[in-house]
Structure 1
Amino acid sequence: MIKGVVFDLDGTLFDHHGAALCGLRAWAPTLGPTSLAPDEVEAVWFALEDRHYQGYLDGRLSHRGQRRVRMAEFSQALGLPVPDDLDEAYTGYLAAYVAAWCAYDDALPALLAVRRAGRQVAVLTNGDQDQQEAKLRSIGLSDVCGPVFASSRLGVTKPDPRAFAHVAAALDLSPGELLMVGDNLDVDVRGARDAGLRAVHVDRPTTTLADLSQMYT
């Protein structure tokens, strides 16, 4: 019997890609002229994000370090000088990104439905604890999402079974009593199943939290 539901954050409850895209489109033109087309600028940014954020999750870069590398390589790709102060340069993007933070429309109803069903709820996310909690406060979900477990504080990242085991222990439930809900098939779904949890895949826009509600309520 499912007694608790664990949600991923980015791409599941929080529209990271949408916020990042809005932030990039507002910020990138302020950096200076480039020969790249807008879609090429976006492709470069997200490729760098994927590569270097994974470096942070793998422990090869600090959270600030991956931002610095992305800023430097993005400037080079645009044919612009690399800023002397990479941290300061990145704050322009960060401000635009934060301004665009939003939850998916089905996020709050899903969390409330789980709570009404009498099940525990939690968030398990790969990322920086402070930033992930700030996202949840900003998008109005912090009061209903339950405890937040971020990899920066856990010391391990999904799909490591220890991340899922930590959540189960904290909720005083067995892994088999938990359902993981996430958008990443390998990290969230297969990782959870390998750790003994049940799991469902949120494959937006094909499937949403509303489509899967019968599985977690």
Structure 2
Amino acid sequence: MTPSPVAVVFDLDDTLAVTARRRQQLLDEATAHVGSTDIDRGAYLQAHGSVDATDTRAPIFERLLDEDATVTPTALAAAYRDAIEEALEPIPNAVDLVEALRREYRVGLLTDGPRVAQRGKLVELGWEELFDAVVITGELQAGKPDPRAFAAVCDALEVGPEEAVFVGDRPEVDIAGAAAAGFRTIQVLTPENPNRHPRADAAVDRENLVERLPDLLHSA
């Protein structure tokens, strides 16, 4: 018999927090701010997946910038980080949701990205102390969907994966990755990822997450 969950682990970006402007627009703002040529979001994502950007996004931009560029990868990474932080906002009542869940569960955050970028988001949101444990994959040897990332947040919460539910929006990275690591999963459906993954135990539209998640957890 599957035990009742004792822990809930959230993804951050596009699950509990969103940007008020699309990421391509923020990337355009950053390149314009430092005087760089435009960078396509698709090319950025491809570079992001092929370099080891553990501390900042500078290694990503180092791959994308021309060799004769006058802009440094470090300056562009800082400008993009500032643009994202300025546009970042929590989904409505996100703090109330997490605080209520902490009265019943251990609540963790597992977020992909470089250390400086993701820690900066938590500071911008005022969420440094909101969770029982925060794991940033830039501080690990592996990111989602690698099982080691999910194991790290279990260790931080002192629970087994069979005792935890993962809540995230990305089908392959969050849902398939967490399911493969032994978690039960609740997929957050968004305009970018509107279709439920076969390995999701439940799914909920992001606009209904705060209202419906407690009941979904009780039935998990």
More helix by share: 1
| Structure 2 equivalent of residue 13 of structure 1 | 16
| Structure 1 equivalent of residue 110 of structure 2 | 124
Greater RCO, CA 8 A, separation 6+: 1
Amino acid at match of 1:215: L
Q: 1:65-214 alignment to 2 at 5 Å?
A: 65-70=59-64, 72=65, 82-116=69-103, 118-205=104-191, 207-208=205-206, 209-210=209-210, 211-214=212-215
Shift of residue 30, structure 1, vs aligned partner: 5.0
Residues of 1 paired with 2:176 and 2:136: CA distance? 18
Q: Which runs of 4+ in 1 moved over 6 A?
A: 31-34
Give structure 1 stretches of 5+ with no counterpart.
Answer: 35-40
Shift of residue 65, structure 1, vs aligned partner: 1.1
Residues of 2 paired with 1:141 and 1:108: CA distance? 8
CA deviations 1:149-174 (Å, max 9, x no partner) are: 11122211111122212222332212
Amino acid at match of 1:163: A
| Structure 1 equivalent of residue 51 of structure 2 | 56
Contact 2:58/2:73 (CA < 8 Å) preserved in 1? no
Shift of residue 91, structure 1, vs aligned partner: 3.5
Deviates more, 1:200-209 or 1:3-12: 200-209
CA deviations 1:116-166 (Å, max 9, x no partner) are: 3x1000111121233212211211222212211111222111111222122
Contact 2:61/2:77 (CA < 8 Å) preserved in 1? yes
Q: Quote the sequence identity (%).
A: 28
User: In the comparison of the two structures, how many residue pairs are matched?
Assistant: 200
CA deviations 1:66-104 (Å, max 9, x no partner) are: 12223x16xx9xxxx732534334433333332222222
Contact 1:7/1:124 (CA < 8 Å) preserved in 2? yes
Normalised to the residue count of structure 2, the TM-score between the two structures is: 0.76
Normalised to the residue count of structure 1, the TM-score between the two structures is: 0.77
Distance 1:183 1:33, change over 3 A: closer
Residues of 1 paired with 2:47 and 2:16: CA distance? 23
Residues of 1 paired with 2:94 and 2:44: CA distance? 24
Deviates more, 1:23-32 or 1:192-201: 23-32
SS at match of 2:89: coil
Residues of 2 paired with 1:87 and 1:204: CA distance? 31
Distance 1:18 1:112, change over 3 A: farther
